[in-house]
Structure 1
């Protein structure tokens, strides 16, 4: 049974939304246009601007997700966790072009919010719903898509008060950082410049 959104699903102020991406995690990109929807994994996504909150993501021309985004004008970035590593790998290595039942076969669970027609992936640690800012040259020449974040949420077991709390959470909540093939790093321990300066 889909338990999203749940009591841990909390709104993130747009001025803090950039913090959901600044640690460089692999993301899941979802989109829907009419009855067609897709989810893919992407390693190249980052914050672009504070106010209004903007993000970028690189989407290859061969992906169905990209085509859907170009049609709908919206997309969602979400930060998956270590417990979803198999799902991330499947969504990153299969295409809706070749596998029409890709979403069902991967076992992805989607949910919708009342004010959005875009699908969100359940079980992630953060979600950013974005409105596409059309930049035809960047999209064609560099596969670079820019979006304005219109709403953002995070699971408060891992992100609260504008900060990630990986150090206090179960390791299954750690974010994935793609290296190559099916290899990822998990986010590591928190370190502080101030603590380093205080060291003898």
Structure 2
């Protein structure tokens, strides 16, 4: 999910595509029809949320309802704020990345792609600690989800470990 805020108006939307670009940058697809895009363009910031199994309904809800057509949409979403950032974060996620837009008008207009520099990051320490995901220790409802289509999600699975690389005995 992606959220933003401008001039007292906050919103969150389901994200169609988000990916890391190196260690400190995030690229997000934010379509022209999305109300959240207007907030991102005006504020210069967006938050990437990493939703979990317990939030499947929330993800679908934020994708099926537009703030421009339903101004009370966010009444069903529980937001919180981190000190130093006036941006809404959705409660219950595995993690949150606050991104400052790195302007690129051509990518934004031609491809709906917004590059952001990560300027703040937090995680639920039940699933991410000391720089590592620890899903095998976490309850199943805290596994991160990936939406496919038609109400179908995939949750991150059990971890496996490979103890050596090519050329090692």
Q: TM-score if structure 1 supplies the norm length?
A: 0.80
Per the alignment, residue 92 of structure 2 pairs with 123
- Mapping 1:178-193, distance limit 5 Å: 178-193=147-162
Q: Is the 8 A contact 1:43 1:177 kept in 2?
A: no
What displacement does 1:195 show?
A: 7.4
What displacement does 1:56 show?
A: 0.5
Per the alignment, residue 137 of structure 1 pairs with 106
- Give the one of 156, 163, 166 matched to 1:194: 163
- Give the one of 149, 153, 158 matched to 2:127: 158
Per the alignment, residue 6 of structure 2 pairs with 33
What displacement does 1:33 show?
A: 0.3
Per the alignment, residue 71 of structure 1 pairs with 42
Q: Distance in 2 between matches of 1:174 and 1:195?
A: 27
Larger RCO, structure (CA 8 Å, separation 6 or more): 1
Task: Confirm whether residue 146 of structure 1 aligns to residue 115 of structure 2.
Answer: yes
- Give the one of 46, 59, 79 matched to 2:30: 59
Per the alignment, residue 42 of structure 1 pairs with 15
Q: Deviations over 1:46-97 (max 9, x none)?
A: 11022xx111110110000011000000111111111111111100111111
Q: Is the 8 A contact 2:16 2:30 kept in 1?
A: no
The runs of at least 4 aligned residues of structure 1 exceeding 6 Å deviation read none
Q: Distance in 2 between matches of 1:153 and 1:188?
A: 22
Q: What root-mean-square deviation, in Å, do the aligned CA atoms of Structure 1 and Structure 2 show?
A: 1.5
What displacement does 1:196 show?
A: 10
- Give the one of 92, 101, 104 matched to 2:63: 92
Q: Is the 8 A contact 2:99 2:117 kept in 1?
A: yes
- The runs of 5 or more residues in structure 2 that have no matched partner are none
